[in-house]
Every structure is written in structure tokens, then in C-alpha cells.
Structure 1
Amino acid sequence: MADGGTLIDCSLNGAGGFGRDCTMERAEQDGESFVIVRHPDGAFRRFQLGVPNRGLVTADGAQPAEVTDMGGYVEVRVGSDRYHLPVAE
């Protein structure tokens, strides 16, 4: 854990490789579940979990999340950023 979050692999701004540079934390708000991914520069993305017929979606912003099951984790792509999120935390 680092600063209240679990370290995860991410590839930001179209970088070719992944580094364990981002953190992930779970949050509950008004009965809904969210994952918050924080970038090393302080930027962050929020994803809503359990959306019927869609699973994980971006909670903020206009860009949709593309989710790919990688077996043991999912790769989430939003624009030029990619994140490896554990399937169960």
C-alpha cells in the first residue's frame, strides 16, 4: 500500500510500457461502488463498478472506459492511459 492505496501498473499518456506508478482505492458513495486511480502527478480517474449490463464505466469525464479481461486482472483504457486493475481486491 502507498498513501492509502494499492500500487497498480499503469501506462500514462501513451507510454509503451507499464510501471507500478499509480495507486488504486475503493470508495462507496450513495450505495454505489467506485474505484479511484491516482496518477503520480496528482491527477486521478474515478470508475463506477457494477453498472448493469456494462460493469465498470468512467464516473467522470466524457471518454469511455474500454475494459479487457486479462485473466486475473482487467486492463482499463481511457484515452491514452491504461491501468491494470485486480479482478478481486
Structure 2
Amino acid sequence: MTPNLATAGALATLLLLAGCGDADTGPLEPTPGSTRIACAIGSDRFAERCFVERSDTAEGTVLTVRQPDGGFRRLRLTPEGPVAADGAEPVTVTSRSPQEIEVAIAGVRYRLPAELGKGA
């Protein structure tokens, strides 16, 4: 029996849906050049489970912070400190110590080394 077009379409749909699942499929793996940082998502406690990558772009230096749930934020560094790269959400920066800042955006908080958050 040869599959017809409807059967093939249904099979393709099932395969696509199988790829959609729980976003938290396990621990987040670092990418080369990334740094592990503490983060707190919503009311969660801080834990070292996020990663940050620094890259130079045409718009300036950008930090990409990756969360264990698959979410991420892009922060553009300015002389005043990090801002949302897309400008959509306000960013609050708090100095915790000379070595560490806390960046809050849309209910997620990240603790970054102070030197990582310095812009041009």
C-alpha cells in the first residue's frame, strides 16, 4: 500500500508536533565563550543556571543571556550600562558590589560581573 498525500501530510504534522515539547528538557549547555551566571526567573531564587555571551556587532557590544527554559535576552552595552537591545523592555541595573551588578528585565534577574556590563 502506498501512502497518499493526506497520510503523508498527517505524518509530517505529527513529526512536527513531536518536536514541540516541554521547553525545559534538561540543563542548559554552555556555548563556547559563554560564562555561567546566577539568574532568577520570576520568584525563583538565584542559581547559577544561566549563561551570557558577549559579541561585538554593528550596534555595539551585545550580551546574550540564555535561560534554562530556552528564553534569552539581548542587552546592548552603553556608557550608562546595559539596555534592552530591542528597546522593548525597560532594564534596571543595580550595583551589588564593585565586582557585580544585577540586571532586571521583564521579571528575570541576572547577576553579571561588573566588568562584563561596562559599555563603550
Shared fold per TM-score greater than 0.5: yes
Question: Structure 1 residue 79: deviation in Å?
Answer: 2.0
Tell me which amino acid in the other structure corresponds to 2:112.
L
Q: Tell me which of 100, 103, 112 is aligned to 1:85.
A: 112
Q: Partners in 2 of 1:56 and 1:31 — Cα distance?
A: 13
| One-letter amino acid of the structure 2 residue matched with residue 83 of structure 1 | Y
Match of 1:13 among 33, 42, 57: 42
List, as ranges, runs of 4+ consecutive aligned residues in structure 1 with deviation greater than 2 Å: 1-4
Q: Which is higher, the Rg of structure 1 or of structure 2?
A: 2
Q: Given the alignment of the two structures, is residue 59 of structure 1 paired with residue 76 of structure 2, yes or no? A: no
Instruction: Determine if contact 1:45/1:60 at 8 Å carries over to the other structure.
Output: no
1:20 alignment partner AA: E
Q: Which amino acid aligns with 1:74?
A: I
1:13 CA displacement: 2.2
- Structure 2 segments unaligned to the other structure (5+ residues): 1-28
Please give the alpha-carbon distance, in whole angstroms, between the structure 1 residues aligned to 2:43 and 2:111. Answer: 14
RMSD of aligned residue pairs (Cα, Å): 1.8
TM-score by length of 1: 0.85
What is the identity percentage for the equivalent residue pairs of Structure 1 and Structure 2?
36
Amino acid at match of 2:48: R
Q: Is the 8 A contact 1:22 1:40 kept in 2?
A: yes
Paired residue for 2:53?
25
Q: Which amino acid aligns with 1:69?
A: S
Partner secondary structure for residue 9 of structure 1: strand
DSSP 3-state at the match of 1:70 = strand
